[in-house]
Structure 1
Amino acid sequence: MRVFLASIPLEAAKIVIIGGGEPALAKLRLFLNTPAEVMWFAPDGAPPKIETPLTAPEPVLRAPEADELAGARLVFMALDDADELVRLGHLARAAGAQVNVVDKPHLSDFQTPALIDRDEVVIGVATGGSAPILARDIRTAIEGVLPAGLANVARLARELRDTVKASVPDFMARRRFWEKAFRGPAATLAAEGRTAEARREMLRLLNVAAPEQGVVHIVGAGPGDPELLTLKALRVLQDADVIIHDRLVPEPVLERARRDAKRLYVGKARGEHSVPQDQIEALMVAEARAGHRVVRLKGGDPFVFGRGGEELDAMRAAGVPVFVVPGVTAALACAASAGIPLTHRDHAQAVTFVTAQAKPGGVEADWTRLAGPNHTLAIYMGSDRAEETAVRLIAAGRSPSTPVAIVENGSRPDERVLTGRLEGLGALVSGAELTGPALLFVGETAAFSAAQLDVRAEVAA
């Protein structure tokens, strides 16, 4: 975040506008329908009456004196005289004001965002002064989906806020009440101006407000690109009270969650389990029983080498309501991002997702079946056993010259794709010095990766 948008109360605030041209008028219009005290100075001359807003204060046709800036919260300046801008800026700051100089970010303490004004609800879009037209276009897009009566909803909420707080002392129950109020008939009635009916509906909800039973959502975060989150995953994330996430969930995905949700990191790496699986499941149960909406956020898809099935069983055994939200699994996302078709009419009539890390004491993979022709292997957690995997596949009948690809950090900005042959898979992995999550692909379709095609193009040239 390069800029921070602060919400500044305008009751009893003093706003000073300096300038008489259209840029100053634009700032003036922002504050005419607010409770702020607005003072207008136009040392460069006042605009014609026909261009001046009817409710604007009478302009003072000179620059303000120091005492006239005293107590000002915000000062906006739109003048051509650079020396005068600097002088007035010093005076305004000495008076304790924040200063904005129109179209001169280097002289400003803040920039004015593109604002969507619904009276009680104000939304700002800021680019730090670097792209005001872009901010304006975004504002227009947002305005198109907001109901005109949104202010009525917020106004009714303000009127009832103290009543709700006194009636529902439990914080979580109060949050649930407001969610139902803002997402149900009460908000619709208020937005339509049917205030009395909306108030009755909110009071009805208030009479039945009570702590709710907690719930767990086991959610697939996808491969790391936040745009590959499903719509359902995004909705559940934004409703969560507690997010229990693993090592493969990157910060850009977590940023899509509700800001005030509690985050608990239970990441695992091979041989490094920061929180054992049984303790993770106990934590999920405890948070749900506390009445929280819990999201167990897992990289990729929770049911593809994600131990989601174990966690689902644990929640059911504990009597906790549980739901599963699938995610885009890494094999699909990494292959697509690298340009590797998992199946192909000429080269692969089957695809198998397999893990190279068998459960300790568990059954080993059937290498003979995995080494079959016209077959793509997507190997999870295979980096540490790449050499052994290649040896076993070749011994089971797969050609040493079979194309392979390694996709590290698939779908992310730092994605890396390396290609080679099965007989050199171990050396390829060790030489890559992998630091991020990586999938190995074995099969003729691995030759379709963008990296491999680039190499072939260079050779042909």
Structure 2
Amino acid sequence: MNYLPLFIDLKSKNVLVVGAGEVALNKIKLLIRAKAKVSVIAKELCSEVQFLLHQRKINWLSKKFELIYLKKIFLVISATNDVKLNEYIYQKCNERYLLVNTVDDKFKCSFIFPSIIDRSPIIVAISSGGAAPVLLRFLREKIEAILPMRLGDVAKIAGKWREVIKKHFSNFLERRRFWEKLFKSVFVEHILNGKKEQAIKILKKNMYENDLLTGEIILVGAGPGDSGLLTLRGLQILQQADVVLYDCLVSEEVLDLIRRDAQLICVGKRAGLNNISQDEIINLLIFLAKQGKKVVRLKGGDPFIFGRGGEEIEAAKNAGINFQIVPGITSALGVAAYAGIPLTHRKYAQGVIFITGHKCINGFVNNWSILSDSSYTLVIYMGTLKAVYIAKKLILFGRLKSTPIAIVEKGTTVDQKVFTGCLSEIEKIIKMVATPSLLIIGDVVHFHEKLAWFQNENKLNKI
């Protein structure tokens, strides 16, 4: 993040604009809308700026810039055609720790103006940091189109009732749930359609509905890594969460989509580390939910595919806690697709089998005869530690040593690497692979070389 977005209160604050042409005019108009006290220094004023002076909306200080004019100034806009003057103003503002913007020269700016979508009091500001202004304009048009013009009225009415609601609901979570429920109701539609009285009736009705603050546990599959593979429902839940318990396999991109005021707790497990136990995770989920919180258990891939989601939801059910399940794209599907490997193919694989390299707690033993059937693609989760053992077993039960394999490291992310070879070479390949990784065994692996499309420049690490 090259710039930290801030919303600054300029009400009655002194702002100096050096320059009074058309470029300066745009900045002056914004400053006036923000209720700043605008003073201008310029040899001449363009006609529109002259009109603002005539309306007494600005003050014309001088025709020439002097350092004395920087006293008691909150921020400065330099909008002249004089490169040396702009450089001088930038330097002197920096010496005085003043915020300064030099128009059309981002290297002489301590702050920049974003592109603004105004639905006051709701303001949306977006910026590319000067990197892609045309793309920025395109995005602004998209956002303008989806935000109703009367959206600000919704915020204004909510603001008027905020203190009333605060007194009515003493509990913070109760207040949050009230507003979430209200904004999802017909209340918003009534305001957008100009029916404010009916909207207020809905608000009052919701105030006196005796909804108990009940907690909930929601399993959410985060997908295999790429945040674009998170489902729409998953995103919606992450924006509603009070607490999120997440695994180490969940990418930073996905974590960035969680509501900013949610509590984040890492409960991930890593081999060889002193990890939180599954029982401790379950106890924490139940404890938080019993406090009335919306608790999200965020797991890499899909929570019901080797994610122990079944155990956690079973515990929630036994504790009498409400729960939901939001499936995710499991790693086998996402990673294979990003590696260009179709898991089934009518000529090479009539089916696909998912297994884990870890043993189940009840001592479950794999049926190696079935797993060694070459008509099935075999996908192995968490198989790095047991890869050599698994390969030897498969060969012993009939899989050919020449069977193609792929090990995909950090699949679907920008760091994805695909290592290919054959079953007999697995011991040599596995030494080069970092975790997390996924092992794919079967003739369909041949398609990787032809169909690889993601990160093509790093696509192949062939043995």
* TM-based fold match above 0.5: yes
Change (3 A) 1:94 1:396: closer
The CA distance in 1 between the partners of 2:133 and 2:278, in whole Å, is 49
- What aligned pairs does 1:6-85 form with structure 2 within 5 A after superposition? 6-43=6-43, 45-49=44-48, 57=58, 59-60=60-61, 62-66=63-67, 68-85=69-86
Change (3 A) 1:157 1:394: same
Question: In the alignment, is the contact (CA less than 8 A) between 1:71 and 1:96 conserved in 2?
Answer: no
Query: Which AA in structure 1 matches 2:408?
Result: V
Aligned length: 452
SS, match of residue 24 in structure 2:
helix
- Displacement of 1:103 in angstroms is 1.0
SS, match of residue 294 in structure 1:
strand
Query: Which AA in structure 2 matches 1:6?
Result: L
Query: Which AA in structure 1 matches 2:307?
Result: G
The CA distance in 2 between the partners of 1:144 and 1:234, in whole Å, is 22
Query: Which AA in structure 2 matches 1:384?
Result: L
Give 1:411's aligned residue: 412
Of residues 100-109 and 236-245 in structure 1, the stretch that sits farther from structure 2 once superposed is 100-109
The CA distance in 1 between the partners of 2:15 and 2:347, in whole Å, is 72
The CA distance in 1 between the partners of 2:193 and 2:93, in whole Å, is 43
Give 2:160's aligned residue: 159
Question: In the alignment, is the contact (CA less than 8 A) between 2:218 and 2:296 conserved in 1?
Answer: yes
Give 2:317's aligned residue: 316
The CA distance in 1 between the partners of 2:50 and 2:177, in whole Å, is 49
Of residues 123-132 and 329-338 in structure 1, the stretch that sits farther from structure 2 once superposed is 123-132
The CA distance in 2 between the partners of 1:116 and 1:452, in whole Å, is 42
Question: In the alignment, is the contact (CA less than 8 A) between 1:41 and 1:60 conserved in 2?
Answer: yes
Question: In the alignment, is the contact (CA less than 8 A) between 2:9 and 2:34 conserved in 1?
Answer: no
Question: In the alignment, is the contact (CA less than 8 A) between 1:218 and 1:308 conserved in 2?
Answer: yes
Query: Is 1:175–2:176 an aligned residue pair?
Result: yes
1:327-362 deviation per Cα after TM superposition (whole angstroms, max 9, x unaligned): 000011111111111111111111101112212551
- Displacement of 1:319 in angstroms is 0.5
Question: In the alignment, is the contact (CA less than 8 A) between 1:404 and 1:420 conserved in 2?
Answer: yes
Of residues 366-375 and 135-144 in structure 1, the stretch that sits farther from structure 2 once superposed is 135-144
Give 2:233's aligned residue: 232
- What aligned pairs does 1:39-438 form with structure 2 within 5 A after superposition? 39-43=39-43, 45-49=44-48, 57=58, 59-60=60-61, 62-66=63-67, 68-89=69-90, 92=93, 97-208=98-209, 212-272=213-273, 274-360=275-361, 362-430=363-431, 432=432, 434-438=433-437
The CA distance in 1 between the partners of 2:280 and 2:335, in whole Å, is 31
The CA distance in 2 between the partners of 1:96 and 1:452, in whole Å, is 56
- Displacement of 1:242 in angstroms is 0.4
- Displacement of 1:109 in angstroms is 1.0
Structure 2: gaps (5+ residues): none
Q: What percentage of aligned pairs have identical amino acids?
A: 37
Change (3 A) 1:59 1:134: farther
Query: Which AA in structure 1 matches 2:434?
Result: T
Question: In the alignment, is the contact (CA less than 8 A) between 1:125 and 1:135 conserved in 2?
Answer: yes
Query: Which AA in structure 2 matches 1:285?
Result: I
- Displacement of 1:239 in angstroms is 0.7
Change (3 A) 1:311 1:169: same
The CA distance in 2 between the partners of 1:366 and 1:51, in whole Å, is 86
Question: In the alignment, is the contact (CA less than 8 A) between 1:177 and 1:209 conserved in 2?
Answer: no
Structure 1: gaps (5+ residues): none
SS, match of residue 405 in structure 1:
strand
Give 1:442's aligned residue: 441
The CA distance in 2 between the partners of 1:428 and 1:33, in whole Å, is 63
Change (3 A) 1:450 1:139: same
What RMSD, in angstroms, separates the aligned Cα atoms of the two structures? 2.4
The CA distance in 1 between the partners of 2:179 and 2:12, in whole Å, is 29
- Displacement of 1:138 in angstroms is 1.6
- Displacement of 1:452 in angstroms is 9.7
SS, match of residue 12 in structure 1:
coil
TM-score, length-normalised on structure 1?
A: 0.92
- Displacement of 1:295 in angstroms is 0.6
SS, match of residue 234 in structure 2:
helix
SS, match of residue 165 in structure 2:
helix
- Displacement of 1:23 in angstroms is 1.1
